[in-house]
Structures are given as C-alpha cells and as structure tokens.
Amino acid sequence: MNTQKNNKPSILITGANGLLGQKLVKRLIEKGSFEIIATGRGACRLPESWKDYTYASMDITSQEDVKSVFTKFKPGLVIHGAAMTNVDQCETEKEACYQQNVAAVQHIIKACEQHASYMVHVSTDFIFDGEDGPYDEAAKPNPVNYYGETKLLAEELIQQSNINWGIARTVLVYGISHDMSRSNIVLWVKNSIEQGKDLQLVDDQLRTPTLAEDLAEGCILMAEQKAKGIFNISGEELLTPYDMAIKTADFFKLDKSKINRTNSSTFTQPAKRPLKTGFNIQKAKTQLNYQPKSFNEGIDILAKQLNLAN
C-alpha cells in the first residue's frame, strides 16, 4: 500500500472493510485527488491489488483509538459509514448498537472538532415511521425500532455540534463486496430461484433501493463540496421487495412463478419495519449533481461484477 503525497486533501473513511467502505475507497482511488486513509476494525480486508491508500486499524467505539488515528493523520474530510446496521440484531443487542451508532459518533465528532475536519455522516430512512413516505429532507423523524432511534440520536448529536457537517440519508443499500462476504436482495433472489426454491416477498413495504456505488458517489460529492445539511442519497424508483424480485428474475431470465406475493404481517421479526419510506432526491440532484442508476442498471452492474468474481 502506497501513501500518497501530502499536497492532496486527506479523507478518512470509517468502515472501509464494509460494502460502502469498499466502494468509497475504490472510487477515491480512481479519482486520484485525495490522500486516502481507510480505517476499519482489525486487519485490512480490501483487495491486495489496490494501491494509493493507507490503512489504519480503528475501533470507532474506542475514544482513544479514534483520537490516536485522527492525531496521526489529521484528515481534512471524514466519511463516517461504519455502523451496526442489522436491524434485528440492534433490537436484541441494544448496548452494542448504542456503542457503535451513538457513542462512536460522539468520539468522531470530538476528533473532527479538534482537527477542524468536515464530516459526512451516513444515516437511514429507518429514522421515519413509514406512515407517509417517500420523504424529503424536511420530514419529521419518528423511528419505530431501536436501530432507527440510534441513527436519529447520532444525527441530533451532529446537528448540535460545532463541526462542519453533512448528513447523507440512504435507503436499502445493495451491491457486491469484493470478497462476496455479503448478500443482497438481487443475489438472494437469483441464487434461490436457480436452486429451485419458492420465495415469499412482501408487496406492502416501499423503498427507493440504492446501489452501493451510487451511495459512495453521493458521499464523495458531499465531501468534495463540503455540502452543509441533510441530503437524501438513494435510488429514485419506489419499489417493493416483490417488485425488486420480479425485476431481478426478468433480468436474469429466471422463473417468476417461484416468486410469491405476501405482506409484512406474515413475518415475525424482532424489530418492526416502517412500511412506506423511500426518498425524494431532488435536492441532491439539483445541489450536488447526484445522478443515481435505475434499479435495472444496478442489476446490470452487479451481473458484470458477478462475472468478474466467478
């Protein structure tokens, strides 16, 4: 791993080993205009072939870890994508969820204050109750699960802080990590039908699904412009999981009769889900020149990445 020369602005990524983190680091390497500090818990899991970034192990729940890494690298920009995002796990492991989604944000805010860093914080549609989506940036939050509560608390901490900040709210992120360590609705539908399984997908939850590459691009646009305030960074199409499954089956020419409609009442999960969320992304399109892919274009990108992985 090469360290870039210090005449470029430095940008620190949290959660670099995760899906969004990988897409952020890859895109920033392609742009070549930043000194990239990729951070994550434990060892680096990014592809060995990638160059022009520095990796630092950083546990975001440790104030000392965060302070030490920020003091060493003094980043001008920060994209904070690391979080505990398994909604049911957040409901059953509340202390761990609080530490990763709230306490960690306090540590990062403090470090950003000390180094005058601009921060993009990644948030979620789950801060809303799903009663009247799709939502714009001015909509009133009202979370229905603990994950949403912690993400809203983090937003409030950032808004009350003295740092220069932007909040990127997103919805149902899908994509392929380089090591195939994480599934998503497209891969799950494709693999299940190919294995001859019958699928039950709900048609009463509405989302604007977001390609991981698009979310990364939106966060980078915010960082480059030091965009102040809240921006909805998601896909544009309002779809149900059932719609997404049908589009996936159509794309891969699979048997759609395997896909059955159902509704949320048939599933018992620890955490309640908001029914109709999704975002109006006009602000991001107008102010940031954010241009997300359609869901079909997203499937096409995943299909090409699958071919490369196989």
One-letter amino acid of 38: A
pLDDT at residue 182 in the model: 72
In a domain, 273, yes or no: no
**Which residue from 131, 6, 10, 18 is spatially nearest to 85, judged by alpha carbons?**
18
Average pLDDT, integer, range 205-230? 98
One DSSP character per residue, 95-164 reads HHHHIIIIIHHHHHHHHHHHHT-EEEEEEEGGGS-SSS-SB-TTSPP--SSHHHHHHHHHHHHHHTSSSE
In a domain, 162, yes or no: yes
In a domain, 157, yes or no: yes
Average pLDDT, integer, range 278-298? 98
Q: Residue 134 belongs to a domain with what CATH number?
A: 3.40.50.720
Quote the tokens at residue 99. 């530490």
pLDDT at residue 70 in the model: 98
In a domain, 248, yes or no: no
Range of the domain at 127: 10-175+210-236+279-293
One-letter amino acid of 244: M
Average pLDDT, integer, range 31-56? 96
Distance of alpha carbon 290 from alpha carbon 9, whole angstroms: 22
Reply yes or no on whether the pLDDT at 21 is more than 50: yes
Distance of alpha carbon 277 from alpha carbon 290, whole angstroms: 20
Residue 1: pLDDT band (50, 70, 90) is: very low
Q: What are 242-262's pLDDT values in tens digits?
A: 999 999 999 999 999 999 999
**Which residue from 286, 209, 273 is spatially nearest to 240, judged by alpha carbons?**
209
Q: What are 106-162's pLDDT values in tens digits?
A: 999 999 999 999 999 999 999 999 999 999 999 999 999 999 999 999 999 999 999
pLDDT at residue 6 in the model: 57
Run of H or E residues at 201: strand 199-202
Reply yes or no on whether the pLDDT at 179 is more than 90: no
In a domain, 145, yes or no: yes
In a domain, 265, yes or no: no
Quote the tokens at residue 9. 């602005």
Q: What is the mean pLDDT of the chain?
A: 95
In a domain, 69, yes or no: yes
Q: What are 76-85's pLDDT values in tens digits?
A: 999 999 999 9
In a domain, 58, yes or no: yes
Reply yes or no on whether the pLDDT at 53 is more than 80: yes
pLDDT at residue 3 in the model: 44
**How many distinct structural domains can be found in the chain?**
1
